[in-house]
Structure 1
Amino acid sequence: MERIILDVDSAGDDILAVLFAAANPNIKLEAVTTVTGAAGPIEQVTNVVLNTLSLAGRDDIPVHAGAWRPIVGHSKADMEAPVHFEKQLTARFGDRLKKFNPPAPTPKRQATPSHAVDFIIDTVMSNPGEITLVTTGPLTNAAMALLQEPRLTKALKNLLVLGGNFQTPGNITPVTEYNIWADPEASRIVLNAEVGKILVPLDICEDNRVATSMLTRDDIADMQAGAKDNPVLDMIADVFPIYIDIWREFFGLVGFPLDDVITAALAFDPSLATLTEPLFVDVLTDGSVARGQTVAYRGFQILPGGGPKTTRIGTDLDGRRFLDIFKKTIARYERAA
């Protein structure tokens, strides 16, 4: 069983990743830590996690709020654009957008007082070689933890990072993916760190080459056909059709990509993905369109450069097997008769 800390920014697929990690028998979810990102301010991000764990019946899992802003970031308008993404879709979807990243109701419990970064450091250093950190949002918390405690690179069992793109076009600019773009300085610290890691790029999540890994209305109907009393599935069936439709119409995908769930699943079964050999991966921190671009050092170049070869990049995914694991995990929320 993989002991993981899940670091999220509470966008739609983060919610599914929390539910997945809380129920999958191959994962022991030590805690969920939160970071400001695509869902909005840290209060919104944290309340979404608290409410999600309550729905899952897992109020025993600690939740620690983390970074409320990136180390540097971008202009205020650009940083807020992903949060206000739905404004571009109002004419097409109207009132249905009320189910897309709505304000979180007040949770029935509060987050644990200690900061996410302190929790990550304390837990990993107290359990050397046992904890895997899975980041599915901007990398601010992870970077701050590595800066404050350099020994983390030796104490972490593994690091899973959702972010970047290499062949698939970016979802912020043509060459940038949101998680890396949101905090390029933090991303560079994490990807340059001398700790073994798997990088899960858009290439194996948000590309129709891996369409079999995406959630569709048919998948929801299939899960409902075998369910009788599953409150988590009821929520998915109520909330996620609008996500499916947006990703089909705006991004041209066949369904809703489960990026965050894929990253969590790779923590206990990396064989789901085809991975490169360990490479050095860097992040551009200057420019405009290219700020936040991930660059993998491959091949042979004349100019010197590079760094620690510690990152294996996902290049393909067994989408059918992954989606089967996801469906079976959600089925575990079925209530006993």
Structure 2
Amino acid sequence: REHPGEVTLITLGPLTTVAYAQELDPEFAARLKGLVSLAGTLQAPGDISAVAEFNTAFNPEAARHVLRHPATKTLVPLDVCCKTALTFESVQRLNLDDRQPRGRLLQSLLNFSLRAYHETLGMEGMWLMDLAAIAAVSQPHLFSRQNLGVDVETHGRLTRGMTVFDRRPRPSWRPNIDVLTDVNAQGLLDYVTSMLVRLR
């Protein structure tokens, strides 16, 4: 309230708390400079079900309430997040100094995440999901986007939590959100590795 139009809120999990904030204060979202949400899929398959992404599937009603709200919003879907991965080779090139506390911590966290991705998904790298959402604000030039109408399925037995977009040649839904549709994958990887180098 003290800084209307100055704060950009980035959400990296389910939208339950944002929906609750809007219920407590109907002007909450309108006071934000923007809302950037890591949520949903555009054309990619889901991660928690065949069609739904975890953050929307966890509480579809909250996601629907937030994403359909008439405020400035950007959606960072799985389609974009899954185009850039940090690999074992990328981490090795960082030359982390395990003699320093920060270097040891960073190496431990990255190695744990890489092993988890390999063991659970069979991947030789890890998606930069949360960092893609942050980069959408700090490095917007790395992304392509499209203004679309979005809704969230709340009832389907097989499709609950699915983000649905009106992409017909003549859509009847009013566009209500900027959706990231593509990313400069190498540019995002360079941005992330440059941040990690500063932390080592």
* TM-score, normalization by structure 2: 0.90
CA distance in 2, matches of 1:230, 1:152: 43
Higher relative contact order (CA 8 A, sep 6+): 2
Aligned residue number for residue 45 of structure 1? none
Q: Distance in 2 between matches of 1:162 and 1:138?
A: 9
Aligned residue number for residue 181 of structure 2: 315
CA contact (8 A) 2:19 2:62 kept: yes
Q: Aligned residue pairs: how many?
A: 200
**Residue among 145, 170, 173 paired with 1:306:** 173
Match in the other structure for 1:114: none
- Report if aligned partners of 1:224, 1:233 keep a CA contact under 8 Å in 2: no
* 1:228-307 pair list within 5 angstroms: 231-248=101-118, 250-276=120-146, 278-300=147-169, 306-307=173-174
2:69 maps to which residue?
A: 193
Amino acid in structure 2 at the alignment position of 1:153: A
CA contact (8 A) 2:98 2:104 kept: no
Corresponding position of 1:158 = 34
Decide which moves more: 179-188 or 312-321: 312-321
Residue pairs, 1:208-247, within 5 angstroms: 210=83, 213-224=84-95, 227=97, 231-247=101-117
CA distance in 2, matches of 1:291, 1:247: 26
Alignment partners' CA distance in 2, 1:203 and 1:252: 19
Gaps of 5+ in 2: none
Q: C-alpha distance in 2, partners of 1:254/1:163?
A: 23
Within-5 A mapping of 1:81-100: none
Please list the CA deviations of residues 45-65 of structure 1 after superposition, one character each: whole Å capped at 9, or x if unmatched: xxxxxxxxxxxxxxxxxxxxx
Identity %: 32
TM-score by length of 1: 0.55
Q: Distance in 2 between matches of 1:228 and 1:239?
A: 12
Deviation for aligned residue 1:299? 1.0
Task: Confirm or deny: 8 A CA contact 1:230 1:331 kept in the other structure.
Answer: no
Write the deviation string for residues 177-199 of structure 1: whole angstroms up to 9, x where unpaired: 00110111110011001111111
Matched residue of 1:315: which SS? Answer: strand
What is the Cα deviation at residue 141 of structure 1?
1.1
Is the 1:284–1:294 contact (alpha carbons within 8 Å) kept by the matching residues of 2? Answer: yes
Question: Shift of residue 241 of structure 1?
Answer: 2.5
CA RMSD, Structure 1 to Structure 2 (Å): 2.1
AA at the equivalent of 1:260: D
Whichever residue aligns with residue 218 of structure 1, its letter is E
Contact 1:232–1:330, Cα closer than 8 Å, also in 2: no
Q: Is the 8 A contact 2:39 2:54 kept in 1?
A: yes
* Amino acid in structure 2 at the alignment position of 1:167: Q
| CA drift at 1:249 | 5.0
Structure 1 residues 230 and 155, CA, compared in 2 at 3 Å: closer, same or farther? farther
